[in-house]
Structure 1
Amino acid sequence: MLLVQLMKPFYTKLEGNRIKLVFAYQYFSIRKDDELFHFIPVEGKEIIVHAETLQVENLSEIFVFQKGNRFIRLPLYQLLLVSDIHMHLQTIIETNVHSDLSSSSLENAAQVIQELEQQNYERMIDYALLNRDVSLFNKLQQFKEHNGGFPIE
Structure 2
Amino acid sequence: MVTVKLLKPYYIKTDEQTVRVVLAYQYFTLLINQRVFQFIPIEEKEIRVSRENGKIENIHDRFAFQNGKTVIYMSLVELISAPNFLNHLHSIAQPYIQSEETKSVTLKEETEQIIKVLEERNLKRMIDQALDERNKVLFDQLVKLL
Instruction: Classify 1:104/1:28 alpha carbon distance in 2 versus 1 (closer, same or farther; 3 Å).
Output: farther
Instruction: Classify 1:85/1:136 alpha carbon distance in 2 versus 1 (closer, same or farther; 3 Å).
Output: same
1:88 counterpart residue number: 88
Query: What does residue range 33-72 of structure 1 map to in structure 2 within 5 Å?
Result: 33-49=33-49, 51-52=52-53, 54=55, 56-72=56-72
Alignment of 1:128 with 2:127, yes or no, is yes
CA contact (8 A) 1:128 1:136 kept: no
**Over aligned residue pairs, what C-alpha RMSD do you find?**
3.7
Q: Which runs of 5+ in 2 are unaligned?
A: none
Alignment of 1:8 with 2:8, yes or no, is yes
Query: What does residue range 94-105 of structure 1 map to in structure 2 within 5 Å?
Result: 94-98=94-98, 102=102
Counting matched residue pairs gives: 137
d(CA) in 2 for partners of 1:82, 1:134: 71
Give the Å deviation of 1:69: 4.0
Give the Å deviation of 1:129: 3.9
d(CA) in 2 for partners of 1:105, 1:21: 26
Give the Å deviation of 1:58: 2.8
Q: Deviations over 1:1-34 (max 9, x none)?
A: 1111222332153654x65433233332212344
d(CA) in 1 for partners of 2:22, 2:42: 13
Give the Å deviation of 1:94: 3.5
SS of corresponding position for 1:43: coil
SS of corresponding position for 1:72: strand
SS of corresponding position for 2:97: helix
d(CA) in 1 for partners of 2:96, 2:54: 17
CA contact (8 A) 1:12 1:96 kept: no
TM-score, structure 2 as length reference: 0.63
Q: Which runs of 5+ in 1 are unaligned?
A: 141-150
1:25 counterpart residue number: 25
Match for 2:27: what amino acid? Y
Alignment of 1:77 with 2:82, yes or no, is no
